[in-house]
Amino acid sequence: MRYAKIRQFRQPCWYSGPMPVLFRIRGFRFFYSNEGSPREPAHIHIDQAGWEVKFWLRPDVHLAYNDGCDARTVRELHKIVTANREQIERAWNEFFA
C-alpha cells in the first residue's frame, strides 16, 4: 500500500539546510537527518508531538531507536516504512549523492 508521493531532492551531499521532510501522514513527519561523519547508512526519522523514532532501512526495516513513542504506533510506522522503503531509499540516494 502506498501512503504518499515522496518528493524528489536535488541537493549536494554537503547540504546543511533544514532536514528534508519526505512526507507527512496523519501528523507523522518522515524526514532525513545525517548524524555522523562518515554518513550513517540509509535511515528515516519520524516524529510527532514530542517523540521521535528512527528506522534503519537495510538489511531489513528495523527500529534503531525510540524516544517516547508507544509500541502500537511503532508497529504502525514500521508498516508504513516497509511499504515505502524503496521510494525512501531512492530519495535518500538522490539527496545524498
For 30-81, what is each residue's pLDDT tens digit?
998 766 677 888 999 999 989 999 999 999 999 999 999 999 999 999 999 9
Query: Other CB atoms closer than 10 Å to residue 32's CB: what's the count?
Result: 18
Residue 59 lies inside a defined structural domain of this protein: yes
Is the pLDDT assigned to residue 88 strictly greater than 80? yes
76 is a domain residue: yes
Domain holding 45, by residue range, is 21-96
DSSP 8-state code for residue 68: S
Give a yes or no: residue 25 inside a domain.
Answer: yes
Predicted confidence at residue 87, as pLDDT, reads 93
9, part of any domain: no
72: in domain: yes
pTM (2 d.p.): 0.79
What is the number of domains present in the chain? Answer: 1
- Tell me the C-alpha distance between 3 and 62, whole Å: 19
